[in-house]
Structure 1
């Protein structure tokens, strides 16, 4: 198992940025070369970093069991969007990073073997990527994701409000705008209906004791209204790593092994 930490300077970010990779040993890849392996882009949440998934979960074990390459980029506190002040985290995630992985490591993130998932803010980023760039991903999973603009607009007394106002260019315009998950969903459904795209397999997981649980329920209802297939998985759990460790394994079993146990 190769565990690699890289500090590189993406053009889309303009700053030295950490990146972590898990690349299974050749024996665990069952003779399939790196360029043909399945790849999981795994995104961290608001207060974490590129190494969080390795520190707090068994993702190395899950990757080894499946010969899976795992790419864990740094998203800082960006919500993985292209910021108006110049740093383009979404461009980095969906365009520059796959190109870099191909050029440096020979990792080819072809749609049919590429997955994306994330927790909390990372769930937001994973679904933004999957719904606005569906040609890049076969499957996507939101783990306790921020799947509604409304929760950010309601942070009237939260000290983070000023930060998010700057990040999104004003919270009052968030609902119904380019950063609203329901807008991504509706636009993706319209393109699918017009025969312009094929949607990735979408999975939403959230613990019933999580404060973001209502957001996952609302997203499930929106998918039903738009006739967008969604695998929805809820169970007891909070907004924490115990839950995400359990659910990322469940997602991998579902997406790669075909198991729904």
Structure 2
């Protein structure tokens, strides 16, 4: 496999952004083209950057094993939202970036060929993309994801409150708003067959476990299909390494869909 870094200008975010890609090396292509490979968008967490998955996991080995093109975009500290300051990270992720990649590499980004996953903030972003733009993805994974906003009204640190207010507006009204994963879930449950397959996992020693359990319980109550896994672990890369391996092997055993 080959690792690419592209620094490019984003009209949505209004800055230059680094973008990491894992692509097949020339020798592994043989008679294939990039359109013959499945595509995974892989999102980083709040305190990481676009290089984190490649640095801390074996994602390149998994990409080779499963014939994947892996796209690792920059999300900053945006929670993958269209922020009130005009930096539209969600629009970048779901509109501008796929169009750019399709033109540049001629990837096959048909729904049945494309998945999205992420950790922590990236789990929030992956499920947001999957549940608000279900026509784009066939599967989505959240590992230790922020699958609820119940903690945000309780934030006492003033600098953090200011930061997250740029993302969600009034934090005291975040729960039940358009930014709330439970609201996305309830809307999706009206027509579950139209949505991607969802996988969520969290470590039993992770502080985000209550949010993940609430999301899972709500999905069960609504009859919405969700593969949910709890395992021993905290909010760290040892857990996420195990989970990205399980997620990809669970969802990607079938042959790729060609263009």
SS at match of 2:252: helix
Whether the 8 Å contact between 2:85 and 2:166 is mirrored in structure 1 is no
Which is bigger in relative contact order (C-alpha 8 A, separation at least 6)?
A: 2
Match of 2:219 in 1: 223
Match of 1:142 in 2: 142
Match of 2:68 in 1: 68
Q: Residues 127-182 of structure 1: CA distance to partner in whole angstroms, max 9, x if unpaired?
A: 00000111110000000000001012221247522211222222112111110000
Match of 1:239 in 2: 235
- Determine if the alignment matches structure 1 residue 248 to structure 2 residue 244: yes
Question: What aligned pairs does 1:202-217 form with structure 2 within 5 A after superposition?
Answer: 202-217=198-213
Match of 2:180 in 1: 180
Cα distance in 1, alignment partners of residues 113 and 244 from structure 2:
17
CA 1:158 to 1:119, structure 2 compared with 1: closer, same or farther past 3 Å? farther
Cα distance in 2, alignment partners of residues 135 and 29 from structure 1:
28
In structure 1, runs of 5+ residues without a counterpart are none
Whether the 8 Å contact between 1:45 and 1:120 is mirrored in structure 2 is yes
Deviation at 1:30, TM superposition (A): 7.2
CA 1:211 to 1:31, structure 2 compared with 1: closer, same or farther past 3 Å? farther
Cα distance in 1, alignment partners of residues 189 and 208 from structure 2:
24
Whether the 8 Å contact between 1:46 and 1:121 is mirrored in structure 2 is yes
In structure 2, runs of 5+ residues without a counterpart are 255-259
Match of 1:88 in 2: 88
Cα distance in 2, alignment partners of residues 29 and 154 from structure 1:
51
Match of 1:126 in 2: 126
Deviation at 1:31, TM superposition (A): 4.3
Deviates more, 1:164-173 or 1:127-136: 164-173
SS at match of 1:3: strand
Report how many residues are paired: 254
Whether the 8 Å contact between 1:83 and 1:167 is mirrored in structure 2 is yes
Whether the 8 Å contact between 1:101 and 1:108 is mirrored in structure 2 is no
Question: What aligned pairs does 1:144-183 form with structure 2 within 5 A after superposition?
Answer: 144-157=144-157, 159-183=159-183
Deviation at 1:26, TM superposition (A): 5.0
Q: TM-score scaled by structure 2?
A: 0.94
Q: TM-score scaled by structure 1?
A: 0.93
